[in-house]
Amino acid sequence: MQRLYGAWDEMIRKKLSDKNSLLSLGDRFRIYILFGVIFLFMSLFAPRFFNTYNLTTILRTVSMNVTIALGFTIVMICGEMDLSIGRTATFAAVIALTLQKHLGYGLSIPIAVLAGALVGLFNGVLVAKVKINSFIVTIGTMTILQGATYTITGGNSVSLSGDTVFAISDFLAKPILPMLPPRVILTILFVIMFHLFVSNSQWGRNFYMVGGNRTTAWLAGINTDRVTITAFVLSSTMAAVGGILFAMESSAATLNMGDNSLMYVVSATIIGGTAMSGGKGGILKSVIAVLSLEMLYTGTILFGFGNEVKIFISGLILALVVLYEAYASYKHEKTIGQRAELLDELAQMAARPKV
């Protein structure tokens, strides 16, 4: 059985020796390229896409998921998974609005954020200390939160009315800078904060190291349990914040408002280059990915396709991304441990004229 020394091996060799090859650069910046492509395409071809109103709407719509993605990305970087983010967002939003009637936003918001943080603490401790798989834990938490949310609201959505409430909601929604309403500005601030934190602080780099090789991190003196728990707390807290802000702007919280976020944020984070295996990726990449997805979805609607198409496409994208990742690591597995000298030998033999 023969397999000629062919294109695949050549690519491996190249990758092994040429670090600046177009292939590896393209791989690293793929999300920015994707963003550019989608933006260009939509601006040129989608009706009513490239205008202030639409772009502002995109920014507003995207704010919740961007906020959630900030914390979720950190959990993924640590090599774990948090499936409870959507339900946490809803849960916190519901608490914030329900308590507003009795305590006002001044108290209800901090309480709601705290609730979110506690969810994260719960998740983190179970994963780090009891050492249960994070998928399993967060599926359980997801279910508990759904029940809790419904119990608080009695099965109805929460909606508020009143002058203060509406005033706040208006404030959040109207642009004070071109295309930038306060809620979006706040989100941008969060993005900047998290980006700096994750990319440039010791704590931030610890997340990467724990996700990259837990043992190495531990041997170097990093408290891996604390890092993991912190990641989960951040994830749930930001999910809570995202949900709360969204609900404040609409003065209402429906019971399934966060359900789509899970798929959205997971897809975006993976597309953005944060692998499930951990140690890779970044805040900015996830944010750009969320934006790209939203542009894609909005464009779909503007082209005249209905909401169903949007749901289908979003599911399809996630499936494709997961498939791609799985296939890539499947291929990678096959070539681990190859010796470069042997491949060189083959190349030399292949280059020699046949006798």
Partner 1 sequence: MNVAQKVDTRALRTNRFSKVLSTVGIYAIAALFLLLGILLQSMGLINNFMTSQNLLNIVDAVSLLGIVAVGMAFITYSGHYADLSAPTTIALTGIVSVELLRYGFISAMVGAFVVGLLIGVINGVVIGKFKANPIIWTLAMSYVTMGIIRFIWVNKQIYPDIITDDVRAVMLFDNIYRFRLFNVLSLPLIFMLLLVVAGQFILKRTPFGAQLKITGSAKRTAKFSGINVELMVTLAFVISAFTTTVAGLAITSLSRVGAYYNGAGYDFRAVTAIVIGGMTLAGGRGSIIGVLGGTLVIGLMNNIMTLLGVGTFSQDIIRGAIFIMVVGINAKTLRSMGRDDT
Partner 2 sequence: MGISIKKGKSVSIDSIGLALKMVGVGKRYPATIAVDNVDFEVYAGEVHALVGENGAGKTTLMKMLAGSFNDYTGAIFINDKMVRLSSPSIAKSYGIGMIYQELSLAQPISIAENLLVGRLPRKGLFIDREKMVREAKRLLKTVGLDLDPLLPIEDISQHEAQLVEIAKVLGTNPCILVMDEPTSALSREEVDRLFAIIAKLRNRGMAIVYISHHLPEVFQVADRVTVMRDAKKVATKNIDEVTREEIVHMMVGKSIKELYKREERQMGKLRLEVKGLSRYGFFHNIDIRLHEGEILGICGLSGAGRSELAQVICGVEQADEGSVVLDGEPLDGLSMAKRVVRGLGYLTEDRKLEGLALRLAMDDNILSSVIPQLKQGVVYNKKTGWPKAEKLIKELSIYPSDLDRTAGNLSGGNQQKLLLAKWMAINPKVLILDEPSRGVDVGAKMTIHETIERLAREGSSILIISSDLPELVRLADRVIIMRKGHFTKIMEQDECSEESLLLAANTEMIV
Residues forming the site for partner 2 (CB under 8 A): 1-3, 5, 9, 12, 15-17, 19, 24, 196, 200-202, 205, 208-209, 211-213, 215-217, 219-222, 275, 277-280, 335, 337-343, 345-346
Q: Does residue 316 touch partner 1 according to CB under 8 A?
A: yes
Phi, psi of 321 (to 5 degrees): -65, -45
Residue number, 210 or 318, with CB nearest to partner 1: 318
Q: Does residue 343 touch partner 1 according to CB under 8 A?
A: no
Judged by CB under 8 A, the chain residues 127 through 146 that form the site for partner 1 are 130-133, 135-137, 139-146
The C-alpha atoms of residue 200 and residue 212 are separated, in whole angstroms, by 17
Query: Which of partner 1, partner 2, none does residue 1 bind to, with CB < 5 to 8 Å depending on kind?
Result: partner 2
Residue number, 27 or 170, with CB nearest to partner 2: 27
Give the nearest distance from C-beta 304 to partner 1 in angstroms: 14
Q: Does residue 306 touch partner 1 according to CB under 8 A?
A: yes
The torsion defined by the Cα of 41, 42, 43 and 49, in degrees rounded to 10, comes to 170
Position 9: which residue type?
Answer: D
Give the nearest distance from C-beta 60 to partner 2 in angstroms: 31
Query: Which of partner 1, partner 2, none does residue 221 bind to, with CB < 5 to 8 Å depending on kind?
Result: partner 2
User: Which residue in 189, 196, 311, 350 binds partner 1 (CB under 8 A)?
Assistant: 311
Query: Which of partner 2, partner 1, none does residue 307 bind to, with CB < 5 to 8 Å depending on kind?
Result: partner 1
8-state DSSP, 279: S
Q: Does residue 335 touch partner 1 according to CB under 8 A?
A: no
The C-alpha atoms of residue 76 and residue 98 are separated, in whole angstroms, by 32
Residue number, 210 or 317, with CB nearest to partner 1: 317
What 203-211 contacts at long range (C-beta under 8 Å, 24+ apart), as own/partner pairs, is: 203/227, 203/230, 207/74, 207/77, 207/78, 207/231, 208/77, 208/279, 208/280, 209/279, 210/78, 210/79, 210/278, 211/76, 211/77, 211/78, 211/79, 211/277, 211/278, 211/279, 211/280
In contact, 116 and 241? CB cutoff 8 Å: yes
Vertex 50, ends 48 and 53: CA angle to 5°?
Answer: 75
Considering CB under 8 A, how many residues would be counted as binding partner 1?
46
Query: Which of partner 1, partner 2, none does residue 16 bind to, with CB < 5 to 8 Å depending on kind?
Result: partner 2
Beta-bridge partner residues of 177: 180
Q: Does residue 253 touch partner 1 according to CB under 8 A?
A: no
The DSSP annotation for 2-47 comes to ---S-HHHHHHHHHHH-TT-HHHHHHHTHHHHHHHHHHHHHHHHST
In the complex, which residues of this chain contact partner 1 (CB under 8 A)?
A: 81, 83, 126, 130-133, 135-137, 139-151, 155, 263, 266, 276, 306-309, 311-316, 318-319, 322-323, 325-327, 329-330
